[in-house]
Chains A and B, each alone.
Chain A
Amino acid sequence: MSTSLILLIVAIIGIAGYVAGGRHAMALVGGLSSKLHSRPGYYGSFVAVWAVVPAVLILFVWLVASPFYISSSVRSAFPDDVKAQSQAEQGLAYGMISSIARGMNALTNEEIERVGANPVDLRAALGAKGVPLAGDPKPYMVKAAGDLNIMTDISRITMTIVVLVAAVAGGFLAYRQIEPRFRARNRVEKVILVSLVVASSIAILTTVGIVLSMLTEATHFFTHVPAWEFFFGTVWDPRFAAAGSGGSEGQFGLIPLLLGTLYIGFVAMLFAVPIGLFSAIYMAEYASPKVRSIAKPLLEVLAGIPTIVYGFFALTTVGPFLRDLSSQLNGLVTGDYSNFIQAQSVLTAGFVMGIMLIPYVSSLSDDIITAVPRALRDGSLGLGATRSETIKKVVLPAALPGIVGALLMTASRAVGETMIVVLAAGVAARMQLNPFEPMTTVTVKIVNQLTGDLEFTSPQTLVAFALGITLFVITLCLNIYALYIVRKYREQYE
């Protein structure tokens, strides 16, 4: 029986339990619900919970655990010469066995008998059914595949029976417990509370998952390449990872990527900070409510546009424009119409990323500027300062820690931004300071190393995780520090 069908049946049992539980409770008190401890629905829910939750848990555990059990018992039945081979070889053999097993399910019994133990025929027969095999199957594989199919079938049947029995039994036991003074509501609410706690710990699980998964893969990487060579290497040249060639030597230096990331981020902040900050000041201090109600949403539209759109804008509009502009300028000055700004360059990527960051800077600093107490402004204006003097001498200094926090958060966005730099910054990992030349970033390299065919053993692939954890740590530090500043500052006025 398929998993979804089992789930459906369990759900039906649950609904039936709900109805039966509620009716039973009402019947016990002769229809007078005031004699019940809880409202009748809770008795129904109590039965439904006991019918569904244990059954689904069993189903889930079974689905996760049974492939491991089956695979280990098939592997333990391998002939000794296969067992002597490396783990990777055994993995390949097992992969082939499971394809054969899948293919054999598609064959009829006669076909299996006809093909018999002749491996070459089997390959052809399976190929005709749309199950290609990587090589000629060996006789032991065919036998193992048969065993695998039998075990899978047995496991499925047992699972179906166990799960359905658990659902019925759970529902029945709960049904038996129902009596007028039974505290059904408290029991059900306890279950709900537990599920709320589970839901909120998913946030922690995600963080743990991020850190663990990246640390494990990065540790694998550091067994191939020493950590200091990665963190302090100045050459990025990973070479090509050909599948199965066993990892040719490459150089994995983080420094050029980090430099590119910071440089592009810096250029972006150079555009975003003045524009964003001045817009925020204008909207908070000068603009009439009408202007504010139009301008603020318009700026926020910039934040809602997906970054891939910015990337496309940089690639097809800004990059060519800057390139042509530079060649015109060059032509006017020197008479030589060759461009000095590349279409993909630090400037292009930084400029477009700057546009993207404007709304972050402006809305974060807007909040902080409006949070400065009215009294400070009134005092300054009352002493005869102009508005701009009040802003420069009173409001901004008071808001400074918060603004710094906002800028740090924006910087962490700039560091982690991917699509704009993938399309507009170029792929050459170089260490140079000319903003008109292409450079590359950590995120670009993560994307480059992980698109296309990959195997999880070569350093060319694993380096992406080392880059990822570097990125994660950098943004985490920036954010925690920013949060710390913002929180500390907020307390001052509350």
Chain B
Amino acid sequence: MTDLTSPIAGISKPKAGRRDIGIKGRYAAERRFRAYGIAALSFGIIFLMMLLWSVFSKGYTAFQQTMITIPVEFSQQVIDPQNERTTNPQKLMTANYPIVARNALAKVLGADVNDRVAARSVGQMLSDGVRAQLRDMVVANPALIGTTQTVSLLASGDIDSAFKGQIDLKVSQENRKVNDQQVKWMNQMAEAGTLGKHFNGGIFVNGASSRPEAAGVGVALIGSFYMMLIVLALALPIGVAASIYLEEFAPKNKFTDLIEVNINNLAAVPSIVYGLLGLAVFVNFMGLPRSASMVGGFVLTLMTLPTIIIATRAALKAVPPSIRAAALGLGASKMQTIFHHVLPLAMPGILTGTIIGLAHALGETAPLLLIGMVAFVANYPTTPLDPSTALPVQIYMWANEAERAFVERTSGAIIILLLFLILMNVGAILLRRRFERRW
């Protein structure tokens, strides 16, 4: 800038030293401003990292489960002392299997089952799920009674947490869930190799349970799957049809304007309002069952429609008019032009928008709470009309549980949810990269 003044310099004598125009200060301000921008951006990214880190660091342990593998004696004394299993089939269902498991464990540990305190400590190391596990084994094969089998049993949630190092063992034993004796036994078994961590398949297949070690997202996955299916089957055709009409056929009049304003507003309506709509219309007025994934699917469909319509309209707009002109010029009707030429060309954009809409629907929680998806469902739903829950709702329910082991489960479920979302989004990106055309 100072160079510009040089022609004048020949006439008026250059002064000693430059005139201070505050350039230093202005450059400093420039650098500061730029630093604010970098700081803001890094804040955003750091928060993202912290969020993901806090979930993953708490949750990766949920995919491992502590199991105790010991020989279990299916003693007739305990299961069926009066030998009446042939006459009374109920007997095998109601036998005291936890005692069987407890005795087996006590034998391995060398604890005295007649000492009530020790017996209780031993019993608490095993999950309540062993009752069902051993019962199913015996009912399936009554010949097991009287034999000794090596069985892998679920450790209780507290032992699981302690073994994963999540319980602070320095706290005095009155204030923690596992006592010193149990910790000693646990370490003893771990050294002997009878107690160890295994891959936790249960978290993917089990239903709701009040015991963290036996709880899983199986039912929630099925419920979410049904809902996504319903959303896809309803929202995609309706959304595409609506966009085709608005983009290609609709005359510019008040009615079309009304629809446009409506769609824009619906995209911004809080999701919980859709839940109220679902509760009032689908559950209360139409009498569909509460907690059913069908109602959830309908609500999420209404919620996803605006997203899909907006994406589809953008994709239709991006198809150049020359395509339409060429088809019309060759004698195709308007309908033929659109369905045979414009729509296939717009399909990648439409599908990308749909996948993103589905991903949003998959993570949506609030409307599902209102239509009663907050339910304790232990059995798999067989139809979309059966009570069920959804992945994000399961996360919400677990987040409200106090036990330490449930924090781990919650984070584990979040990881599963995020994995699905990542898969869907990566799919959308790949689809766009692979098929999107630029004219």
B-binding residues in A (CB < 8 A): 185, 189, 192-193, 195-197, 199-204, 206-207, 209-210, 213-214, 216-217, 274-279, 281-283, 285-287, 295, 298-299, 301-302, 304-313, 315-317, 355, 358-359, 362, 384, 386-389, 391-392, 409, 412-413, 415-419, 422-423, 443, 446-447, 450-451, 456, 464-465, 468, 471-472, 475-476, 479-480, 483
Smallest CB gap from B250: residue in A: A200
Q: Among residues 402 to 420 in chain B, which have CB atoms less than 8 Å away from a CB atom of chain A? A: 407, 410-411, 414, 417-418
| B435 within 8 A of partner (CB) | no
Q: Which of B37, B51, B369 contacts A281 (CB 8 A)?
A: B37
Given A201-B259, A386-B26, verify A282-B268 contact (CB < 8 Å): no
26 contacts between A and B (CB under 8 A): A189-B334, A199-B238, A200-B242, A200-B259, A209-B281, A213-B281, A286-B37, A306-B363, A306-B365, A306-B392, A309-B417, A310-B51, A312-B410, A384-B1, A388-B32, A389-B30, A391-B33, A412-B270, A413-B268, A416-B272, A417-B270, A419-B365, A451-B374, A471-B270, A472-B270, A480-B261
Residues of the B chain whose Cβ atoms lie less than 8 Å from the Cβ of A206:
262, 266, 277, 302, 305
| B27 within 8 A of partner (CB) | yes
| B60 CB, min distance to chain A CBs, angstroms | 15
| B144 CB, min distance to chain A CBs, angstroms | 31
Is there contact, CB below 8 Å, between B276 and A465?
yes
Is there contact, CB below 8 Å, between B268 and A475?
yes
| B39 within 8 A of partner (CB) | yes
| A314 CB, min distance to chain B CBs, angstroms | 10
Residues of the A chain whose Cβ atoms lie less than 8 Å from the Cβ of B237:
199
Given A304-B359, A306-B365, verify A443-B270 contact (CB < 8 Å): yes
- Tell me the complex Cα distance, A51–B244, Å: 25
Q: Which of B238, B270, B411, B414 has the most CB of A within 10 A?
A: B270
Residues of the A chain whose Cβ atoms lie less than 8 Å from the Cβ of B250:
200
| B151 CB, min distance to chain A CBs, angstroms | 34
Residues of the A chain whose Cβ atoms lie less than 8 Å from the Cβ of B243:
200
- Tell me the complex Cα distance, A206–B267, Å: 12
Residues of the A chain whose Cβ atoms lie less than 8 Å from the Cβ of B92:
none
Smallest CB gap from A38: residue in B: B333
Is there contact, CB below 8 Å, between B272 and A302?
no
Is there contact, CB below 8 Å, between A313 and B37?
no
Q: Which of B37, B262, B366 contacts A203 (CB 8 A)?
A: B262
Residues of the A chain whose Cβ atoms lie less than 8 Å from the Cβ of B32:
388
Is there contact, CB below 8 Å, between A278 and B242?
no
Smallest CB gap from B4: residue in A: A384
Is there contact, CB below 8 Å, between A214 and B276?
yes
Is there contact, CB below 8 Å, between A472 and B273?
yes
Q: Which of B41, B239, B261, B281 contacts A278 (CB 8 A)?
A: B41
Smallest CB gap from A284: residue in B: B37
Is there contact, CB below 8 Å, between B44 and A275?
yes
Residues of the B chain whose Cβ atoms lie less than 8 Å from the Cβ of A315:
399
Is there contact, CB below 8 Å, between A313 and B51?
yes
| A395 CB, min distance to chain B CBs, angstroms | 12
- Tell me the complex Cα distance, A479–B29, Å: 36
Interface 1/0 per residue, B262-290 and A, CB below 8 Å:
11111011111111110111001100000
Residues of the A chain whose Cβ atoms lie less than 8 Å from the Cβ of B323:
none
Q: A217-B280, A472-B269 provided; 13 other pairs, C-beta below 8 A? A: A200-B259, A204-B258, A206-B262, A214-B276, A279-B37, A286-B37, A298-B44, A308-B396, A312-B55, A389-B29, A447-B366, A450-B276, A465-B276
- Tell me the complex Cα distance, A204–B40, Å: 40
Smallest CB gap from B53: residue in A: A317
Is there contact, CB below 8 Å, between A309 and B414?
yes
- Tell me the complex Cα distance, A115–B292, Å: 35
Is there contact, CB below 8 Å, between A475 and B41?
no
Is there contact, CB below 8 Å, between A278 and B245?
no
Residues of the B chain whose Cβ atoms lie less than 8 Å from the Cβ of A204:
258-259, 262
Smallest CB gap from A298: residue in B: B45
- Tell me the complex Cα distance, A277–B33, Å: 12
Q: Among residues 134 to 177 in chain B, which have CB atoms less than 8 Å away from a CB atom of chain A? A: none
Q: Which of B44, B54, B281, B362 has the most CB of A within 10 A?
A: B44
Residues of the B chain whose Cβ atoms lie less than 8 Å from the Cβ of A355:
44, 47, 51
- Tell me the complex Cα distance, A292–B11, Å: 49
| A457 CB, min distance to chain B CBs, angstroms | 11
Given A193-B249, A305-B418, verify A443-B366 contact (CB < 8 Å): yes
Residues of the A chain whose Cβ atoms lie less than 8 Å from the Cβ of B374:
451
Is there contact, CB below 8 Å, between B54 and A316?
yes
Residues of the B chain whose Cβ atoms lie less than 8 Å from the Cβ of A312:
55, 395, 399, 410-411, 414
| B241 within 8 A of partner (CB) | yes
Residues of the B chain whose Cβ atoms lie less than 8 Å from the Cβ of A443:
270, 272, 366
Is there contact, CB below 8 Å, between B48 and A301?
yes
| B43 within 8 A of partner (CB) | yes
